[in-house]
């Protein structure tokens, strides 16, 4: 599939060069690419269809994750697609088992007359395979190929016809699995595209009249959430911490004012001084970890500590594509990256400080400019996702519904 391979390489380059801004855009582009990979993938007749699709998606997913490890949404949606493949394969296998049970019931009279000898062996093999599915669900092909040879004898009119029938059935099953997987992936794309609206619909339940809301940095999810409350005739004021050194809070403040919200910009260092006047802190997340911890814009941990100190609810908004099945201590999790020192200092003004002065091989002045902050679950009051509101202790259960344990490490 040369066209798909070129698409993969092009997207990998975009991730490496950080040309895609925002977790939602990154997640959507990733899922659309994986849909193309699945659609163009060809599997030999003798191969296991589900396993072949899983291997293909994992191979592409590993390249994408390696291109930008700090963008956890990429790995999240890759694992979501793998989970969809496993679910659809299990669904087909379950349907096949149910179909065989019905066939067994319809042939009871033949068994009494001695014409259905051997079907019991096949049924037992199917039941045993279905029992093993609780640990690792087998594909339908595994169920069929694991059937004892004697089980197929009563249903064989001729070897040629049986072979043609099996080939036709296998081809039909292959098309059905791929069709169902692509349908599931399309649903995931729709879910990612509509996550802002789904979260914003819940704003009226959490923001009340004459409240003061504090947020930090810039987040489209937070913007839509606050504006949704304004559209419901709620009157409130928003404090926006500027989010230095990139000052993303300035952009959010402009957009809020353009939508008619009363907005006050404060410095990041003024968060503790202003928190006593705040009714609720609402922030957007870069990622939500399996333990309920949050990776957000730098400075958000300070806001969480201030909220905790003054008993102010700390609410995190996050689409389901930001829910990560990994824990912060996992070695494959990269929690942060350092941005250019030029965002903090003017190299011309500080050039004398950056000289190698002592002959030690390193400059006397070091500049550290992290992108993200980590907030432990103990500081979070509530998560609001596109599926509703959840407390931190429930996040692991919510995340478990989206991912398979076999796909945590790619």
DSSP labels, 159-170: HHHHHHHHHHHH
Highest mean pLDDT among 85-94, 143-152, 275-284, 331-340 belongs to 275-284
pLDDT tens string 13-35: 999 999 998 999 999 999 999 99
Could you count the other beta carbons within 10 Å of the beta carbon of residue 83?
Answer: 19
Q: Is the dihedral of CA 217, 330, 89, 132 positive or negative?
A: negative
- Mean pLDDT score, 331-337: 84
d(CA 117, CA 298): 70
HEC string of 49-115? HHHHHHHHHHHHHHHHHHHCCCCHHHHHHHHHHHHHHHHHHHHHHHHHHHHHHHHHHHCHHHHHCCC
pLDDT single digits (tens) 203-212: 999 999 999 9
Under 8 Å CB-to-CB from 103, ≥6 apart: which residues? none
pLDDT(97) > 80 = yes
Q: Check if the beta carbon of residue 116 is closer than 8 Å to that of residue 110.
A: yes
Q: Could you check whether the bond before residue 245 is cis, i.e. omega within 30 degrees of 0?
A: yes
Q: What is the mean pLDDT of residues 144-149?
A: 47
Q: Where is 185: in which H helix or E strand?
A: helix 159-193
Q: List the domains of the chain with CATH numbers.
A: 196-407 (3.40.50.10470)
Specify the 3-state DSSP secondary structure of 266: strand
Number of Cβ within 10 Å of residue 253's Cβ equals 23
184 contact partners, CB below 8 Å, separation of at least 6: 84, 87, 88
CA 358, distance to chain mean position in Å, is 48
Q: Taking a C-beta distance cutoff of 8 angstroms, is the pair 277, 310 a contact?
A: no
Q: What is the pLDDT of residues 376-410, one digit of tens each?
A: 999 999 999 999 999 999 999 999 999 999 999 87
Average of pLDDT values for 359-367?
71
Residue 365: the pLDDT is 81
Question: In the predicted model, what is the mean pLDDT of residues 210-239?
Answer: 96
pLDDT at residue 108 is higher than 60: no
> Taking residues 43-47, what's their average pLDDT?
74
Adjacent-strand bridge partners of 266: 241
State the Cα–Cα distance between residues 92 and 82, nearest whole angstrom. Answer: 16
Predicted confidence (pLDDT) at residue 280 exceeds the cutoff of 50: yes
Rounded average pLDDT over 157-171 = 53
Mean pLDDT of 181-207: 96
Residue 68 confidence (pLDDT) above 70: yes
Is residue 24 a contact partner of residue 195, using CB atoms and an 8 Å limit? yes
pLDDT value for 120: 37
End-to-end CA distance of the chain: 22
Residues in contact with 230: Cβ distance below 8 Å, sequence separation at least 6, in sequence order: 236, 259, 260, 261
Length of the chain measured in residues: 410
Report whether pLDDT(10) > 60: yes
| Average model confidence (pLDDT) across the chain | 84
Higher pLDDT, 117 or 322: 322
Residue range 62-90: average pLDDT?
96
**∠ Cα 210 200 232 (to 5°):** 45
* CA-based torsion, 55, 59, 61, 65: positive or negative: positive
Residue 360: band (very low, low, confident or very high) from pLDDT cuts 50, 70, 90: low
Is pLDDT at 163 greater than 70 in this prediction?
no
The reported pLDDT for the residue numbered 137 is: 42
């Amino acid at each position: 599939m040369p066209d798909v391979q070129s698409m993969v390489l092009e997207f990998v380059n975009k991730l490496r060069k950080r040309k895609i801004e925002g977790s939602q855009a990154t997640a959507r582009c990733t899922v659309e690419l994986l849909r193309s990979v699945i659609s163009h993938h060809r599997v030999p007749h003798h191969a296991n269809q589900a396993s072949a699709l899983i291997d293909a998606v994992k191979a592409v997913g590993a390249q994408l994750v390696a291109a930008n490890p700090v963008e956890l949404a990429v790995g999240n949606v890759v694992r979501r697609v793998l989970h969809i493949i496993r679910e659809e394969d299990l669904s087909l296998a379950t349907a096949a088992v149910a179909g065989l049970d019905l066939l067994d019931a319809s042939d009871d009279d033949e068994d009494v007359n001695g014409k259905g000898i051997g079907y019991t062996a096949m049924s037992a093999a199917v039941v045993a395979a279905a029992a093993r599915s609780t640990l690792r669900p087998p594909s339908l092909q595994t169920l069929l190929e694991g059937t004892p040879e004697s089980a197929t004898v009563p249903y064989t009119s001729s070897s040629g016809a049986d072979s043609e029938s099996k080939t036709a059935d296998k081809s039909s099953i292959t098309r059905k699995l791929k069709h169902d997987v692509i349908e599931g992936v399309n649903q995931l794309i729709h879910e990612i595209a509509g996550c802002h609206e789904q979260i914003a619909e819940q704003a009226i339940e959490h923001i009340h009249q004459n409240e003061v809301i504090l947020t930090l940095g810039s987040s489209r999810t937070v913007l839509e959430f606050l504006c949704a409350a304004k559209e419901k005739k709620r009157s409130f004021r928003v404090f926006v911490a500027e989010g230095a050194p990139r000052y993303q809070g300035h952009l959010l403040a402009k957009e809020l004012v353009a939508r008619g919200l009363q907005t006050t910009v404060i410095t990041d260092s003024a968060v503790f001084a202003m928190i006593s006047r705040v009714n609720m802190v609402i922030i957007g997340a870069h990622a939500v970890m399996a333990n309920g911890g949050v990776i957000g814009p730098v400075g958000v941990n300070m806001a969480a500590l201030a909220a905790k100190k003054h008993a102010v609810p700390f609410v995190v908004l996050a689409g389901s594509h930001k829910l990560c099945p990994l824990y912060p201590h996992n070695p494959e999790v990269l929690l942060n990256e350092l941005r250019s020192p030029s965002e903090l200092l003017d190299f011309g003004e500080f050039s004398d400080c950056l000289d190698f002065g002592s002959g030690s091989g390193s400059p006397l002045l070091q500049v550290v400019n992290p992108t993200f902050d980590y907030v432990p679950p103990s500081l979070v009051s509530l998560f609001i996702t596109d599926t509703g509101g959840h407390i931190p202790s429930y996040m692991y259960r919510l995340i478990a519904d989206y991912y398979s344990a076999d796909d945590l490490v790619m």
